[in-house]
Structure formats: structure tokens, C-alpha cells
Structure 1
């Protein structure tokens, strides 16, 4: 028991580990909360599209001397709006449009990165570098994560109804368009907050895995939010500690833990179904 306690507390003696765990948990919680709505809405590919599309915005913001958060957020919103415009004016399906837009913008970002002279390492952008997060970056992550989490929790009933049944939301007098673009803005902000922790490539896993895992274990949406947050917090803390001891990349370690928890939840659900009496709905 003492060994296990030392295993957890020893890394916390380093300031960079304290900042890393706080940042990982903050981004993990907001990603978990939002992931429940993305799973309900069926927007997994939208999260993937926006997460890849922020790369050219990051590069352009660096060139212009602007904060990276501005470029990433602007690029993400542009991707979402471009996807909606093309879908409305073409006969191409939405998932196909998103695939074209995000792959094109991601490729543009890689070309821009290869043409500029920068001290930023590409792997830090693609896979995150939460162990190297600075106090200023930590404050930025906490501010974004806190604001997005608060907005989602305050408007969760409206967002839940919109994700589950937009037609019913419109009948009840809710502005579906406002909820649509509001959710896209929250998604873009969440991706910006998570970039430092897991990077452009792996942020989609943090936006999907907790919600999918929670959907296997919870039957009510409020409980689903709680389970998703707990899954994400456990993954972020354990993944950060494991990366410290094995000297590995933190983002991938967090995502691997989340994938393992999903597998465990799926096995538990299958086993529970087999043990239920026949005729009882799981």
C-alpha cells in the first residue's frame, strides 16, 4: 500500500508534474462532458474534422505574431462553417464534405509548417506536450476549460434536446441554429484547450472515448455525464503518471487508458446481458 501511495505521490514533488496533471484533468473533464453531447448528436467526425483543421490556424497565428489560441479557434470555426456551406449547396453527403475539408486544411497546415522557420516541434503540435506546459499556458487551459464546462452545464437541457431531437427543440421555441453554432464554438474551444495535453491527432479520442464508455454504463444522461468525467479523470491522471515512469508520450498514454476502459466497459455490458433473465431488456 505504501509503495502504491509513493508511486502516485513521488511524481507530484515536481512542479512540472503538478502542472501537467492539473492541465490533463481540466481538459479531460471538459472533453468528457462535451463527448456525451457529440455521441448523442453523432458528431464524432465533426470533432475529428475541427481538430485537424486547427493546424493551419496555429501556423498562421505564429507567423502573424498572434496568440495560438486565436488562430486555432478561428481555423476550427472556419472549418465548421465551410462544411455547413458546402453541404447546403452541394449534393455531397456531410461526412464526405467533412473528410475533404479537414484533410485539405490539415495538409495545408503541414505545408505551411514545412515552409517556415520555427522552434516549435511538429510532434508537440500533433501529439501534445503536457509535461512541458508553462504556468501561463496552464492558466489559459483552466480558463477555457472552466468557461466551456460552465456554459455546457448551464445549457445542458437545451443542448441535450437539440442533440436528441432538433425538430422537437424547434417546436418548443428553441433557436436550433443558435444551439448548432454554439455547440460548434464550444467544440472548437475545447479542442484548443486540449491541444497542449494531447495535440491535434489524439484530441478526437478524448472527445469520443469517455462519452462512448459512459453510454455503455449509464442509462440516464446526467449519470452519463458523471461517468464520462470520472473515466476521463482516471485516464488523465493514470496516463500522466505512467508516461512519467516509462518516459513516454503523455497524450498517447492517456488515450490508451481510455481505450482500455472502453474495452472493459464493453466486456462488462456483454457479461451483464448474458446474466440477465430472458425477456429482460438491458
Structure 2
């Protein structure tokens, strides 16, 4: 413990890692709430993996990986929604086809890019390697995402809980679906450095699922999820740095531990057990 806090005072890279981890924990927790309320956990998984070809192409052409990742994330979300809305194929099938195709393309492009070390970090994360530029991009993108959530909170709330009523009220349900997909893509890209594409979905879903076990309103759920995401990031980074293990995986396992504990002690779970037993 002493080494970690001493390192925070001495090492700039650890300060960058801590700030970035907290920011990602907060924004992932917030967006994740809307994802699980809409039953779109698989979509989060698909988008987080679909950005991989964009990252590989960005390395090949020497541009910022944020650009390629965002483009491919948006393309994947549009493809999934189009296939689901214009065929007899169900949503989970469309997600599976798109997810596997983009992941396979990404693996091929990784070989073409010939930058396996850097792209390995994209797959599994390396938050201790976050540079100043990465930190500020993460903070900026996360601030934009949170600003959209605050600005369109009412519309996102209505379209998440009752899209039919939202449509009757004149709200463009499709627009807010695609907006959420774009926000999901942005969060997935910002989390690349910390937990990698493989584990992003865990940071999107686990804190939000934990908060759902306690919350009685969406606002409370958002605050709880953001707090759990931030705490998981800090504790996971501490474990990763102190015991010299993968920090991204430690963050995810910490979030999972919060969920497991909450699963057994949350009031909603206890009430459900009583109703089942009664």
C-alpha cells in the first residue's frame, strides 16, 4: 500500500493511470446503465470488439487510433440495427454475425499492421502506459459523452423504459438509439488503453448491474454505477500496481467482486428471496 501511494507522488505515469482509470470508470458506469436497461449487453460486447479493425487500420495508416475505432464502431452499430430492422433475423443473431466478422477482420489486420506489441495492449489494456495526450483525449471524450447524457436525459429515460410511449410523444426513438450507439462507441474507444477491447464490456455492464441491485430510480442508478466504476478502477489499479499483475484485469475483477457481494446483500435480492420462499 505504501509503495502505491508513494508511487503516486513520484511517478507521473501512475498519476496519469489513476486519473484515466477514474474517468473511464465513471463514464462506463453511466452509459452502461442505459445499455442494461435496454437489454443491449450483447450490443456493448459487439461494439467493443468491432472497433478492433479500426484500431489496426489506424496503425497501418499512421493516424490516431481513436479515429479508426470510432468509425468502425459506428459502422458496426448501423449494420446491426439495419440487419435487425430489415430482416426476419433476430437481434442477437445480427450481433453475433457482425461481432465475429469484425473481430476476424481485426485479427487479420493486426498481422498486416505488424505492430503486435501495441495492438496486444489494445486487446488487453495497459493503463500504466497511458500518456498525457491519451489522458486528455479520454477526459475530453468522456466529458462530451456525459454532457450528452445530461442534455438528453429525459429522452434517453423515456426511450429506455417505454419506447412506444416515447414515440407517441413525438420523440424520435431511432435517433436516440443511434445516439446511444455512438456514445457506447466513444466509451469503448476511451477504455481501450485501460482494460482493452476484450474487457470493455465488463466495465460497461458490471458496475451498472451492481447499481441496479440497489437503485430505485435511474438518477440514483447512474450515480451509484459511476461511483462503483470509479472505485473499481482505483482499487483494481492499486492491486495491479502493488502485486505486478495486469491492472485492466484487476479492475474488472474488482467490479465483479462488488457485484457478487451485492448479489447476496442488496435489499432487492433479499426481497426477491422472501417473495420466492413465501
Q: Same fold (TM over 0.5)?
A: yes
Report matched runs for 1:29-178 at 5 Å: 29-118=26-115, 120-178=117-175
Partners of 1:235 and 1:254 within 8 A in 2: yes
Q: What's the counterpart of residue 211 of structure 2?
A: 214
More displaced 10-residue stretch of structure 1: 267-276 or 79-88 = 267-276
1:199-241: CA deviations, max 9, x gaps?
A: 1000000000011000001111111111111111110001001
What is the TM-score normalised by the length of structure 2? 0.94
1:252 aligns with 2:252: no
SS in 2 for 1:217: coil
Structure 1: give runs of 5+ residues left out of the alignment. none
Offset of 1:271 from its aligned partner? 9.2
Q: What's the counterpart of residue 229 of structure 1?
A: 226
Alignment length, in residue pairs? 276
Distance 2:222 2:135 in 1: 24
Q: What's the counterpart of residue 10 of structure 1?
A: 6
Offset of 1:33 from its aligned partner? 0.4
Structure 1 runs of 4+ with >2 Å offset: 6-9, 115-123, 269-279
RMSD: 2.1
Distance 1:278 1:210 in 2: 26
1:61-95: CA deviations, max 9, x gaps?
A: 22122211110000001111111222223221110
Structure 2: give runs of 5+ residues left out of the alignment. none
